[in-house]
Amino acid sequence: MKDFFLQLKDKFARPMDEEENLEQQPEEYVELDSESQKEDRSKVLVRPFVMEEFEDIKEVLDVLREGSTVALINIKPLKDKDLVELKRAISKLRKTCDAIDGDIAGFGEDYVVAVPYFGRIHRQSNVE
């Protein structure tokens, strides 16, 4: 039994020169840039979109649901092509903005702005 343990000891013991080499080697560090990753997540992204078909609304809805993107949507191509599809897309966009506690507004004739929960769109009152 004693020989068995001596054999195990010999198998698992490192040679002395190998241990010395480990002690002499300088320690290597890997630098992680965790601060820039945190900053990227906390920044707001303003992203333009062009709506040429009803299906283009899916990408806009996805980024709004993520919660850190303000969407500037050019609706002119779809408006020129099919008004019924445009109304469907705007309706879907409005429902999503309501669901995520966001806001949506027209911006000129050809643009719609949609923001997630953290933003509100200023509307001027035309009271004279």
Arithmetic mean of pLDDT, 54-66: 93
Query: pLDDT digit string (tens) for 21-57?
Result: 555 555 666 666 666 555 555 688 999 999 999 999 9
Q: How far apart are CA 69 and CA 46, in angstroms?
A: 6
Inter-residue contact 72 to 47 (CB < 8 Å): yes
Stated pTM of the model: 0.62
* Environment class of 64 (CB within 10 Å of its CB; exposed 0-12, middle 13-18, buried 19+): buried
CATH architecture of 45-115: 2-Layer Sandwich (3.30)
Task: Kindly give, in sequence order, each residue whose CB lies less than 8 Å from that of residue 118, ignoring residues fewer than 6 positions away.
Answer: 44, 67
Contacts 24+ apart (CB under 8 A), 26-33: none
pLDDT in the model for residue 87: 94
The domain limits of the chain are 45-115
- Binning pLDDT at 50, 70 and 90, where does residue 76 land? very high
Q: How far apart are CA 9 and CA 13, in angstroms?
A: 6
Q: How far apart are CA 118 and CA 35, in angstroms?
A: 23
Q: How far apart are CA 73 and CA 19, in angstroms?
A: 64
Inter-residue contact 87 to 70 (CB < 8 Å): no
